[in-house]
Structure formats: structure tokens, C-alpha cells
């Protein structure tokens, strides 16, 4: 399914109201909910872990898309699958055995995602294309929301779309997506757009209308 999907990142939502934030975003047209897990080791910021994902799960009707910015990954796969992740995305840079990690994610029963930092070339994914359901192209350096989109990644998106061919692999773009950058990445071959600040900034649970306006604008 190559229709364009919007995946709001709750990293930019109200941390004390995740359940209501997720429900409001879905009510306003979010296709997936993107959940950013950070460990203060692989990235220089800490967000939350599997217990928070499990608490959010009942408030999401659709796909819970969990982006692991942690290292190591393997010891925590079961916990995130148990927490209800539909898609579990690990970074290629997070350890020496990404192929093993992707296989373990699928064996656990989730779809497997592979995230690439801005400095990692498209070619690094070449040997993994049959082992993934999604490739996440980071268009900022992971760790924080609200950063500026890195334009050099557009060429990487194009290359990946060609490499993927007719495999059923999503290309997700994460970082700096807004109404200006969204059309650029879609034209390059992306089909899932993560958006944190562009969706939740200006929104609130009490008045979710801004989410709808912002999601529609992307």
C-alpha cells in the first residue's frame, strides 16, 4: 500500500496526556502513531521505554510505530513487542549485528524497520532489503524534535526507492517534515511521513482542531 501515511510523533505531544493526544491525532486524520524511544546512550536524550508504550497502546486504534533510538536493541525486543508495537524500527548504527536484530523483531511478531542516520548511505541497506518492512530515513540527527530538515537526504530517498524495486517496503521519513518539506520527500519516493512539531505544536487535547489543520496541511 503506497498511499501516503502521516505518522505524528508524540515526542512533540504533552507527555502527561499521551492517551488523549494519540486519540485526538487519530481523530484528526493521523494514519499511524510514531513513538520515539531514546536511551541517552545511542542518542543524547532520554524519552521513555516499553512501559510507556504499553500504557499508550490501548489509546491507539491504528498502527503503533515504535522507533528505537537505543543501543543495544536485542535485549529489549520482547518487551516492546509485548507492549504492542506493530512496527519496531532499529538503527543500522546501533550495533554490529543489525541483520540478527531485524530477524529477531520479525520472529517476535512485529514488522521490522531499519533506520538510517543522515551520515549512513543508502547502499548500507542493500543486503537487508528482504529483511525489512520499512526503511526510516532520518532527515535530522536523531535525538530531538524540532530540528531543521537536512536536504542532502532527498537523494538517498530516491536511491532507496530504486533499490527497493517492487518489494513491499515502506520508506518513512523522520525529521523536519512540514508542509514545505513533505512534498519533496513524497516526490523522491517516501510514503510514510513522521511529523512531530508540525502536528502537535499549537495543538492541545482541549482543542484538537489544530491537529486536523496541521495534518491536512502536510
131 is catalytic: no
Consult the annotation and say whether 113 binds a ligand. Answer: no
Instruction: Say which residues have a Cβ less than 8 Å from residue 209's Cβ, sequence separation at least 6.
Output: 28, 203
With contact defined as beta carbons under 8 Å apart, do 177 and 199 qualify?
no
- How many Å apart are CA 71 and CA 18, to the nearest integer? 25
Residue 37 CB, nearest approach to Zn ion (Å): 9
Residue 167 CB, nearest approach to ligand DX5 (Å): 24
How are beta strands 111-116 and 134-138 bridged, if at all?
parallel
Residue 69 CB, nearest approach to ligand DX5 (Å): 6
CA 165 to chain centre: 21
H helix intervals, 17-152: 18-27, 50-56, 77-82, 98-108
Per-residue binding letters, 172-201, with ligand DX5 (x by CB under 6 A): --xxxx----------------xxxxx---
- How many Å apart are CA 194 and CA 33, to the nearest integer? 9
Q: Which of 145, 189, 203, 208 is in the footprint of ligand DX5 by CB under 6 A? A: 145
> Residue 16, exposed/middle/buried by CB under 10 A (0-12, 13-18, 19+)?
exposed
Consult the annotation and say whether 67 binds a ligand. Answer: yes
134 binds, among ligand DX5, Zn ion, none (CB under 5 to 8 A by kind): none
Consult the annotation and say whether 204 binds a ligand. Answer: no
For residue 135, the cross-strand partners are 114, 171
Consult the annotation and say whether 41 binds a ligand. Answer: no
- How many Å apart are CA 52 and CA 120, to the nearest integer? 30
Q: Which of 52, 120, 147, 204 is in the footprint of ligand DX5 by CB under 6 A? A: 147
Pick the catalytic residue: 36, 39, 131, 191?
Answer: 36
174 is catalytic: yes
Per-residue binding letters, 62-81, with Zn ion (x by CB under 5 A): -----x--------------
* Nearest residue (CB) to ligand DX5, 32 versus 130: 32
- How many Å apart are CA 88 and CA 109, to the nearest integer? 10
- Using CB under 5 A as the binding rule, whether residue 133 contacts Zn ion is answered as no
Consult the annotation and say whether 15 binds a ligand. Answer: no
- Name the site residues for Zn ion (rule: CB under 5 A): 36, 67, 174
Active site residues: 36, 174
- Name the site residues for ligand DX5 (rule: CB under 6 A): 9, 11-12, 34, 36, 67, 140, 142-147, 174-177, 194-198
Annotated binding site for a divalent metal cation: 34, 36, 67, 174
Amino acid at each position: 500500500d503506497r498511499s501516503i501515511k502521516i505518522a505524528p510523533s508524540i515526542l512533540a505531544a504533552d507527555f502527561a496526556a499521551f492517551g488523549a493526544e494519540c486519540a485526538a491525532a487519530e481523530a484528526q486524520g493521523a494514519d499511524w502513531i510514531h513513538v520515539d524511544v531514546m536511551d541517552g546512550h545511542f542518542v543524547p536524550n532520554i524519552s521513555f521505554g516499553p512501559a510507556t508504550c504499553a500504557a499508550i497502546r490501548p489509546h491507539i486504534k491504528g498502527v503503533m510505530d515504535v522507533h528505537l533510538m537505543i543501543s543495544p536493541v536485542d535485549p529489549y525486543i520482547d518487551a516492546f513487542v509485548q507492549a504492542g508495537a506493530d512496527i519496531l524500527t532499529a538503527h543500522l548504527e546501533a550495533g554490529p549485528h543489525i541483520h540478527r536484530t531485524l530477524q529477531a523483531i520479525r520472529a517476535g511478531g512485529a514488522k521490522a524497520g531499519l533506520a538510517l542516520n543522515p551520515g549512513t548511505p543508502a547502499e548500507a541497506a542493500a543486503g537487508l532489503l528482504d529483511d525489512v518492512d520499512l526503511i526510516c530515513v532520518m532527515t535530522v540527527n536523531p535525538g530531538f524534535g524540532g530540528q531543521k530538515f537536512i536536504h542532502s537526504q532527498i537523494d538517498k530517498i530516491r536511491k532507496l526507492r530504486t533499490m527497493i524495486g517492487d518489494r513491499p517496503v515502506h520508506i518513512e521519513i523522520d525529521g523536519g517534515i512540514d508542509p514545505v518539506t513533505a512534498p519533496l520527500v513524497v516526490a523522491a519516493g517516501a510514503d510514510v511521513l513522521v511529523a512531530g512539531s508540525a502536528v502537535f505544536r499549537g495543538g492541545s487535547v482541549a482543542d484538537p482542531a489544530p491537529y486536523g489543520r496541521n495534518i491536512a496541511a502536510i
